[in-house]
Amino acid sequence: MTEQPLITLRGIEKTYTVGTQAVHAVRGVDLDVARGEYLAIMGSSGSGKSTLMNLLGCLDTPTAGRYELAGRDVSVLGEDELAAVRNREVGFVFQTFNLLPRSTALQNVELPLVYAGLGAAERQERATRSLEQVGLADRMKHRPNELSGGQRQRVAIARALVTEPSLILADEPTGNLDSRTSEEIMALLHDLDRGGRTLILVTHETDIAAYTRRVIRLHDGQISSDERHESRV
């Protein structure tokens, strides 16, 4: 029996109203993503890739269509239910890291577990393990301004991993990093891929997309191509 995809999109639409004008950001997208896939979503500014990422991450809801994540139709959920799904099923990695400046690396990684209602001892144990996984065992007590850009992104990746989510979404994860540090972060993401994680990168950089095994290109809110290839790693 074929395993059910982690992600199933059917006829996904997202329309915004700007003034009196309707803007069709995503138009009729159909997409299946299997568990353990590593893929990139590419497109120029205005192509709909950020809107699609927000929909995939349950940060927004579609105007029309059906979105199933881990077998559950999330396109019909209210805000509180979506927040619970996000915290349990999705880990986010952002270009700007989105770390709390006055909190240590450990406290930043613990945050999703606070929202999940876990006790202090279990939070600390899981956050410690997550930071060890990204090579920051010796930086747990450091605050973001005491860390390099690459180390901050590692903290963000550890935070994304700490809830053991079904899906990791990385939005331009190397956008604020130099080329050498970018390679280190992409190597880390590759290690997560080898561990069976489902990873979706949103990027406009062809060399970053080359690390994945599948590239989906968007144009005017629609999928213009969907290609599989060998990873460059």
- Mean residue pLDDT of the chain comes to 93
Reported pTM: 0.92
The secondary structure of 45-73, three-state, reads CCCCHHHHHHHHCCCCCCCEEEEEECCEE
Listed by start position, the domains of the chain span: 37-60+78-228
Position 163 scores a pLDDT of 93
Task: Say if residue 233's pLDDT is above 70.
Answer: no
Please name every residue paired with 24 in a beta bridge, in sequence order, or none if there are none.
Answer: 15
Lowest mean pLDDT among 8-12, 53-57, 171-175, 194-198: 194-198
Count other C-beta atoms under 10 Å from residue 18's C-beta.
Answer: 7
Q: Calculate the dihedral angle through the C-alpha atoms of 131, 183, 218, 10, rounding to the nearest 10 degrees.
A: -30
Task: Say if residue 153's pLDDT is above 90.
Answer: yes
Lowest mean pLDDT among 33-47, 118-132, 184-198: 184-198
37-60+78-228: CATH topology: Rossmann fold (3.40.50)
pLDDT tens-digit map of 122-136: 999 999 999 999 999
